[in-house]
Amino acid sequence: MQQIKLGVLVPATNSTVEPDMYKMAPDSVTLHFQRLAAFQKLRVTSPDPLVKIRCFEEAGEEAVSGAQVLSEVEPEVIAFADTSASFFKGVEYNENLMGKIKAATGIQAITTSAAMVEALRELKLQRICFITPYIDYLVEKGKEFLEASGFEVPICKTLSPITHQQGARAYDYEQVINAYDKSCDGIFCSCTDYKVIEIIESVERYLAKPMISSNQATMWLMLRLAEVRKPIAGFGELMKHL
């Protein structure tokens, strides 16, 4: 069986992307990661949006050189695996970031925000319950990005994380269930550094509505672009749409 390589640019402080991706990856896929040092500045928590903006801008610049290093293994796709750092300046910035990575490497490139949009469209979701761990500034920027991409966002909920047994931050099943509102078609749980893929199927069964997460959407779109067509069970409705 021919191995398919996928490349992922990961924030230096993120401890969730890699284990999530390994869990979802089929046997035919190998994963290759490059960490982005600019995100180290976010270890110091600050309510000042300017701190995050400067960090995200530097990360966007570093992503290009990081992708060039990652391209040495010749992946089919390179993903910039951070949601807020790709939506914070809007749709055009996100498109430009993907374009710069592709131009520098010759490899098709995506961001988690692009994956979010494509996943919502794939499942034909229009009214989104947007769940985040973000400061108010980033919640609003995420909402603006979704609205500019053609969605309605009647519900935005900022949830405090629980601490997972491995020490990672996570969304709890009850938190997500309680955050949902019947006016929405489905849920998007934002942030690649929060464990949530383990509860997607349970939430979907209880609500009878689709739930999409940042890491799930990123993996799904990478597999789609790499022409992996075998549905993957255990991680929600989206992963059956390959």
CATH number at residue 96: 3.40.50.12500
Distance CA 38, CA 60 (A): 9
Higher pLDDT, 237 or 51: 237
Q: Tokens standing for 204? A: 């979907």
> Based on the domain organization, do 85 and 66 belong to the same domain?
yes
pTM for the structure as a whole: 0.94
Q: Domain range spanning residue 121?
A: 116-213
Residue type, 44: V
User: Could you tell me if 26 and 221 are in contact, meaning their C-beta atoms sit under 8 angstroms apart?
Assistant: no
> Based on the domain organization, do 38 and 151 belong to the same domain?
no
Question: What's the chain's average pLDDT?
Answer: 93
Give, to the nearest 10 degrees, the angle between helix 49-70 and helix 91-105.
20
> Based on the domain organization, do 92 and 162 belong to the same domain?
no
> Based on the domain organization, do 195 and 220 belong to the same domain?
no
Give tens-digit pLDDT for 101-157.
Answer: 999 999 999 999 999 999 999 999 999 999 999 999 999 999 999 999 999 999 999
Give tens-digit pLDDT for 172-184.
Answer: 889 999 999 999 9
CATH number at residue 202: 3.40.50.1860
User: Could you tell me if 129 and 155 are in contact, meaning their C-beta atoms sit under 8 angstroms apart?
Assistant: yes
> Based on the domain organization, do 67 and 120 belong to the same domain?
no
> Based on the domain organization, do 83 and 131 belong to the same domain?
no
> Based on the domain organization, do 209 and 121 belong to the same domain?
yes
> Based on the domain organization, do 32 and 129 belong to the same domain?
no
CA distances from 240 to 113, 123, 188 (A): 20, 11, 17
Give, to the nearest 10 degrees, the angle between helix 214-225 and helix 17-24.
50
